Amino acid sequence: MSKNIQKTKQSVFSKKRTVKRIEILDTAACQMNEFGTTTVSINGIAQSVGLSRNALYYYFKDRMELITACYERSVSVLAVELEEAMQISDKATGQISFFLRQKLLSDQQEQAILSDLDSVPEPRKSEILTIYYANVAKLELIIQQGIDTNELKNVDPAITAQILLGLLSWTQLWKKWHEINENIVEATIQTLLKGVCADRDRPFSCHINVQNLFGRQINLFDSASLGEAKRLQLLGEAALLFNQRGIGSTSLDDIADRIGATKGSIYHYFKDKQSLVDACYENSFEQYELIAKTAQEIKGPGAHRFLTILHLNCQAQALPTPPLIVQAGILNLSKDYIERSLKLAKIVDTIKIDALNDGSCRADLTTLQLTAGLIFWIPKWIKDKPEIDGLQLADAICQITSGGIVNTN
């Protein structure tokens, strides 16, 4: 066999292997986003891509290697897309618009959301985070340059960058039920740039403190009341870790260390981790429903009620014991929680429709539904920033959501 023929065969083989590897990564990323990393099945992925279990190990040595590769690809692809955006225009709005458009309309398969990154062992985890933080820094640079040239408002670049990334992460989950087309993408871009409110300069303030809203009376002389208070504290601490690290990456031992107790004390209240997760969702849905009903009762324009929901949810995620966020693994929710989620969505949609009908909001309903991504990032971002005030953070997010980031001057 001639060397040229041998090289050609090797090239064809290499290309086929690359194509199959990408197919495996695409399939795994979808599973990770839908069901969480703990449910990623080597057998299921192998079957989906037409391989045997043993054949899949030719591409990835084990399950963790596959999960890690999915996360590495997510941050690497994002880095390339940001570089392209920074080269396409010398204007911040042009770069942001191009980046969002490319990301939301790309023919590429979805990328894995970095929800369970703590499950990745070192040094690979640090390598992934290094690329991720570099991506964030590039976004912040784009925003800061826009501020310096008076193209953008004097917004906080760090918060604005996280809002943008949060919208993209939420879209990965949202588009499993809805089609993302060019009209939605353009509306989303305009919402970020110009805000959701018809009057971009109308001030908004929320005078409700979510801690007072969630407050429960405790009878210090009643053992049942004290026991319930301890259970709720445990749920809050568990939800905080689940939000920051991902459900799959958080063990009962982690939670026990967090609360300064033994794992046995957790078993006093919950028979296993899944029971604890279910209880966290139960408690969180009660809180989300309370927020929605509180906002629903507020008088005034629909936009004010919509922003109140957003403000209270932002406050809630900045609490030391926040509600559990809906994250990768959303399809693992029980039928009961899915039904409650749909009912909650209807309440929120009613408020959004009111805002559209009374003219206080300019964005369409579909775009407003994507704004759930505005709080998606808070728990992970705030954990290393104890100086951040939850009320001020909520104010900043609502200000951007209301009036956008483009300067009116």
- Residue 221 and residue 123 share a domain: no
Query: Do residues 278 and 334 lie in contact, with contact meaning Cβ atoms separated by under 8 Å?
Result: yes
- Flag whether 314 is in a domain: yes
* Residue 129 burial (10 A CB sphere; 0-12, 13-18, 19+): middle
- Residue 265 and residue 349 share a domain: yes
Q: How confident is the model at residue 5 (pLDDT cuts 50, 70, 90)?
A: low
CA angle 155, 324, 298 (to 5 degrees): 65
Q: What is the CA radius of gyration of the chain?
A: 23
- Residue 146 and residue 16 share a domain: yes
Range of the domain at 7: 3-152
Judge whether residue 108 has pLDDT over 70.
no
> Which residue stretches of 89-222 are H helix?
92-105, 124-148, 157-174, 182-194, 210-214
- Flag whether 158 is in a domain: no
- Residue 233 and residue 353 share a domain: yes
Judge whether residue 12 has pLDDT over 70.
no
Mean pLDDT of all residues in the chain?
84
Judge whether residue 14 has pLDDT over 70.
no
- Flag whether 384 is in a domain: yes
- Residue 136 and residue 279 share a domain: no
- Flag whether 190 is in a domain: no
Q: How confident is the model at residue 9 (pLDDT cuts 50, 70, 90)?
A: very low
Task: Please give the span between the terminal C-alpha atoms of the chain, in angstroms, as a whole number.
Answer: 71
Q: What is the pLDDT of residue 218?
A: 58
Q: Could you give the C-alpha distances from 275 to 3, 143, 281, 300, in angstroms and in order?
A: 62, 43, 10, 41
67-81, 176-190, 240-254, 325-339: least confident range: 325-339
- Residue 137 and residue 46 share a domain: yes
- Residue 140 and residue 11 share a domain: yes
What's 152's DSSP letter? B
- Flag whether 12 is in a domain: yes
- Flag whether 183 is in a domain: no
- Residue 243 and residue 389 share a domain: yes
User: How many residues does the structure list for the chain?
Assistant: 409
Judge whether residue 147 has pLDDT over 50.
yes
Q: How confident is the model at residue 380 (pLDDT cuts 50, 70, 90)?
A: confident
Here the CATH number for the domain that contains residue 335 is 1.10.357.10
Q: Which long-range contacts (CB under 8 A, 24 or more apart) does 368-371 make?
A: 368/196, 368/306, 369/174, 369/178, 369/345, 370/167, 370/170, 370/171, 370/174, 370/184, 370/188, 370/191, 371/167, 371/191, 371/196, 371/310, 371/401
Helix axes 124-148, 157-174, angle to 10 degrees: 120
Q: How confident is the model at residue 183 (pLDDT cuts 50, 70, 90)?
A: confident
- Residue 222 and residue 141 share a domain: no
Instruction: Report which listed range, 10-24, 140-154, 162-176, 381-395, is most confident.
Output: 140-154
pLDDT tens digits, residue range 318-359? 988 899 887 655 556 667 777 787 788 788 888 888 988 999
- Flag whether 95 is in a domain: yes
Boundary (domain end) residue, out of 136, 152, 168 = 152
- Flag whether 30 is in a domain: yes
Interacting residues of 72 by C-beta distance below 8 A, sequence separation 6+: 124, 127, 128, 131
Q: What is the pLDDT of residue 268?
A: 87
Instruction: Kindly report the pTM of this predicted structure.
Output: 0.84
pLDDT tens digits, residue range 118-135? 888 999 999 999 999 999
Q: What's the rounded mean pLDDT across residues 13-32?
A: 84
> Which residue stretches of 175-272 are H helix?
182-194, 210-214, 223-245, 252-259, 263-267
- Residue 391 and residue 316 share a domain: yes
Judge whether residue 8 has pLDDT over 60.
no
- Residue 231 and residue 127 share a domain: no
Q: What's the rounded mean pLDDT across residues 286-298?
A: 91
pLDDT tens digits, residue range 256-267? 998 888 888 899
- Residue 223 and residue 80 share a domain: no
Q: How many domains does the chain have?
A: 2
- The token duo for 328 is 């990768």
